[in-house]
Homo-oligomer: A and B are copies of this chain.
Amino acid sequence: MSDYDTVSAEVEHEDEIPEDHPRYQDLLTRHRIEKGVEKGITHLQGMHAEGRGSAFDYLLGEETIPSADDAERAAAAHLLLADHPVLSINGNVAALVPGEMVDLAETVDADLEVNLFNRTPERMQAIADHLRDHGAEAVKGLEADARIPNLDHQRGKVDEDGIYAADVVLVPLEDGDRAEALGEMDKTEIVIDLNPLSRSPRVAEVPIVDNIIRAVPNITAHARDLVDADRDTLEKIVEEFDREHALEAAEERIRSGF
């Protein structure tokens, strides 16, 4: 039996959502995306995407399953091993985990780059400002002086000294076409997506099937734990991570776990 659909729509600030509410995470996520739309950070379709993710999270049990925790540890190791790691930010990421992405970037010494499916100068600027409000010092993506090959002009725009040059990219909530095009650039791609069957996690070297509001702080926690580890230790974590198992375990949980 579920209390899935009983939610109040009349919350002005997230502090008003009771932390002991059985659907706290879902309400918090929806609230942040709604505020993101109101602020011009998030595209209206981001609200739809978030709803879709919310159903998969519900089926996963709204928790970080062990295989997702493994993926988050592998992601931390990849980011720490990278020469030039970049964290990609879209409208939903900015609305949901702005401070958490800034923390992760600082912990693994990565760049933050704004990269939108529905790119407009206003949204680019609003998101860059929003990240700075949450402590970001440098925000890339506004230059857009390079292109991802095999994508249409607008969607392929990146910074030459950002995603274009990166060896490891974290692309949370990425669309399938761009995830695939980035993968073809021989970058190590880390994707966060709640649907283990969607194309983005399927093409990623590290697919994280988890809610971004749990995943990002957990990658940061693993990175803090590993920050003084030697390369051998990090490389061993990377090698031992089994992406097929991660995808299968998530699918199995969705099939049987609810």
- Which chain A residues have a beta carbon within 8 Å of chain B's beta carbons? 1-7, 9-10, 30, 33-34, 37-38, 43-45, 47-56, 59, 117-118, 175-177, 193, 195, 197-200, 202, 255-256, 258
Contact = CB atoms under 8 A, between A and B. Distances in A.
A213 to B, nearest CB: 15
A199 B101 CA distance: 36
Judged by DSSP, the binding face of A is helix
Contacts of A258: 197, 255
A129 to B, nearest CB: 22
Contact of A52 (B37, B54, B175, B255): B54
Nearest to A30: B48
Contacts of A10: 118
Given A2-B198, A52-B55, A255-B256, 6 more contacts: A5-B175, A49-B51, A51-B55, A55-B56, A59-B59, A255-B258
B175 A6 contact: yes
26 contacts: A2-B199, A3-B199, A4-B197, A4-B198, A4-B199, A5-B175, A5-B198, A5-B199, A6-B175, A6-B177, A6-B199, A9-B45, A10-B118, A34-B44, A34-B48, A38-B44, A44-B44, A47-B51, A48-B51, A51-B52, A52-B54, A52-B55, A54-B55, A55-B56, A197-B258, A255-B255
A55 to B, nearest CB: 3
B4 A195 contact: yes
A1 B202 contact: yes
Contacts of A195: 2, 4-5, 55
Contacts of A53: 51, 55
Contact of A200 (B5, B56, B199, B200): B5
A23 B67 CA distance: 30
A184 to B, nearest CB: 16
Between A47, A53, A56, the greatest number of chain B beta carbons within 10 A of the residue's beta carbon is seen for: A47
